[in-house]
Amino acid sequence: MLDYEGDTHIYLQIAAILRERVAGLPAGEPIPSEAEIQEEFGVARTTARRAVHVLREEGLIYTVQGEGAFVGPSTGAPRKQRKVPLYQQIAADLTEQIKAGKYQPRRPIPGETALVKQYGVARETVRRAMALLRERGWIYTVAQRGSYVSQKDSWPEI
């Protein structure tokens, strides 16, 4: 339990909790993402990031750009694959909704702000999901208007 009234910064309290958790994990095991830490402890992204930074500085964990943080030193440690990245999960969910007819061709899908709120993720995560949907042909974006579902003939082979 976090002590908001105490003399220890919240990020240091979270780092202490995470330190206990990673102590028994094998090298290469993924630790919770900043978004997961943020959600679990009800803190800002910056607070979660600072807690992870403390453990990284102590040499207990290492980070890999685009993959996350893992237990152990970074010196060639093996690492287990993290679950499917959040942006891919969001893209898959939106794809299923498009296929199910929730979003019709040539009609808008929710904007970035709505998706950030709906999925509880960072704006950049939503942007990556949208970019993936655009690459695959599920949506297209009109400047200053938003993103729309592509015509069915533009959809990838299912």
Q: Number of C-alpha atoms within 13 angstroms, CB side, residue 71? A: 16
Tokens of 66: 């685009």
pTM recorded for the entire structure: 0.52
Contacts of 4 (CB under 8 A, 6+ apart): 10
Q: Residue 129 in 3-state DSSP?
A: helix
pLDDT for residue 101: 93
Mean pLDDT of the chain: 89
19 pLDDT higher than 90:
yes
pLDDT 10s digits, 109-128: 999 999 999 988 889 999 99
pLDDT at 82: 54
Mean pLDDT in residue range 53-79 = 80
Tokens coding 21: 């958790």
First to last CA, the chain: 47
